[in-house]
Chains A and B, each alone.
Chain A
């Protein structure tokens, strides 16, 4: 009796096993078919770049029926992590890869290829009622390190500086830390906002505020400076003249001191579909859209490097 029972249990188990195997196989097959059909390109990463890449993707999809691209934000660190973990096809990042990340990628067999698709002028913004309109690089660094605490020190009125910044996975956060704060810690008083738009919003409400955003966030959809904010002109040091990130010539001539390339990375050689999209971004038409969004075209040197990486 007992033996028989055990036997039948075994039989049922075997049958269930076979059934679930079949189910899993058919699901896998369906999934494969679906992905093959849609060829959805998943893009993830930098919050600074999300609007720009979204607009480029929309234009591209309008031109190439059948192409499907989804663009997500989350921060440069998120995008790079996603490429390493294989959960997206293209990562947007507004800073370079860290050595640690490259090590991790190589460990997992991921050989990233990096493309510069636009140039950003990192912009320092204050409230429109703040009388200060220029700062040196050193001053910006001291302010965000928390060494200068009062606007009076840099020629403003006597009030405590209210700091706004991004969260630590942001490429903008890392870039500023590396190039302006000289790799020192941020002040613990920095209020961390979720994205560029939130910083603009907070700065426009707070008279003592200072924040940093990508240049593409300074202007609204009509090309006007957003309400309530003022863009600070930056100089390399006390003896050099100051330049605005809104002035094309000073950014292209690299006289504006804190500009940086905006990148996209693939895992290994980009597939035909992804390469086609990247080529569109780098085409004169794509680059014109980059400028229209408030960012800047990439230089010849960067373009040459891109072309090499596409092959």
Chain B
């Protein structure tokens, strides 16, 4: 009797220990996230105090090492980031949705088996390789098509980011299209709609929240991407007036300047403020995507 009880206690101990371990692990992830946020905030605050929020957010000139007057306006870089991202989504979203619809509705199982892994493989290409393609292939092509002297433009960045956002958009849109109950499709077909009509007016509306989530996640990927835009967009600081101009995104600016900025100067803190803005943006984009996905799951259950 005594020994059985002892064994029971041991097993209980083991179980509670395991439980604790997993609890702590999941807590750790949250702590790391909070830690990064706190660190960014802590390092960014001196910059905002020294520069002033108004100059920081509304000036278009960024020139921290200027001998005339150091300036810390992020508006040009913010606009560039938004522009390159929107450009990328304008290319990647229609294309990605079309591929997803094809994979879920049209493709034979055999073709699907080939296309799906290829799409996933696209996600595995290192960003520096994509950037290299932009410098040597896409850039010169853009230059020739638009009769420019060089192709290091926002358009180049958008095209490359589109390639990088495609796998996310395709796989999540496809998942949500597949999650539409068969009964919806059958009902539509039974009412005399053809497959195209069923896709456009039944399946896509039913899966719309998942598709929007795919768009948001693709956007998160595009905003945060650094190496590719650094290599492909020319990094000029001017305010962007069109897609055929060189632009510098927030991420590229951090990458260019953080490595060599003297520590604990206004410039150093300002770069962390840029990081904070990026962090908050991508956090909310991803959060929105997650909330939408969760809603859809509940709706279709």
Contacts and interface: CB of A to CB of B under 8 A. Distances in A.
**4 A-B pairs with least C-beta separation:** A169-B260, A208-B149, A188-B238, A191-B234
A302 to B, nearest CB: 25
A205 interface: yes
A163 B234 CA distance: 10
B232 to A, nearest CB: 11
A74 B259 contact: yes
Interface stretch (B58-66, B81-89, B167-175): B58-66
B262 A81 contact: yes
Interface residues of A, number: 37
Nearest to A75: B260
A168 B246 contact: no
Interface stretch (A29-37, A132-140, A178-186, A288-296): A178-186
A74 B256 CA distance: 10
B46 interface: no
A78 B152 contact: no
Given A188-B61, A191-B234, A206 B262 contact: no
A306 interface: no
Given A78-B260, A168-B257, A191 B67 contact: no
Most buried by A among B63, B66, B149, B263: B149
Nearest to A206: B150
A192 B263 CA distance: 22
Contacts of A78: 259-260
B67 A184 contact: yes
Interface string A159-187: 11011000111000010011000011111
Interface of A: 74-75, 77-78, 81, 84-85, 101, 104, 159-160, 162-163, 167-169, 174, 177-178, 183-194, 202, 205-209
Contact of A183 (B68, B140, B238, B256): B68
Most buried by A among B143, B246, B260: B260
B61 to A, nearest CB: 7
Given A78-B260, A192-B256, 19 more contacts: A77-B260, A77-B261, A77-B262, A85-B263, A101-B262, A159-B149, A160-B149, A167-B260, A169-B259, A185-B67, A188-B61, A188-B236, A189-B236, A191-B150, A192-B234, A192-B235, A192-B237, A207-B149, A208-B150
Interface size class for chain B? 20 to 34
8 contacts: A78-B260, A81-B263, A84-B262, A159-B149, A184-B68, A185-B63, A185-B66, A191-B235
A229 B121 CA distance: 38
Interface of B: 61, 63-68, 76, 140, 143, 149-150, 152, 234-239, 246, 248, 256-257, 259-263
Contacts of A192: 234-237, 248, 256
A187 B150 CA distance: 18
A78 B259 CA distance: 8
B149 A162 contact: yes
Nearest to A170: B260
A162 to B, nearest CB: 5
A112 to B, nearest CB: 15
Contacts of A77: 260-262
Contacts of B64: 168
Contacts of A185: 63, 66-68
Contacts of A178: 67
Most buried by B among A159, A178, A191: A191
B64 to A, nearest CB: 7
A177 B67 CA distance: 8
Contact of A191 (B63, B68, B152, B239): B152
Contact of B237 (A74, A188, A205): A188
Nearest to A82: B260
B149 A202 contact: no
Given A81-B262, A167-B256, A189 B238 contact: yes
A104 B149 contact: no
Contacts of A85: 263
A184 B67 CA distance: 7
A190 B259 contact: no
Given A185-B63, A191-B234, A205 B150 contact: yes
B271 to A, nearest CB: 12
A104 B67 contact: no
B257 A183 contact: no
Most buried by B among A177, A186, A188: A188
B150 A209 contact: yes
Contacts of A160: 149
Contacts of B261: 77, 169
Contacts of B256: 167, 192, 194
Contacts of B61: 188
A93 to B, nearest CB: 12
Contacts of A183: 67-68
Nearest to B238: A188
Most buried by A among B64, B65, B76: B65
A185 B70 CA distance: 10
Contact of B236 (A184, A191, A207): A191
B268 to A, nearest CB: 10
A104 B235 contact: no
Contacts of A186: 63
Contacts of B63: 168, 185-186, 188
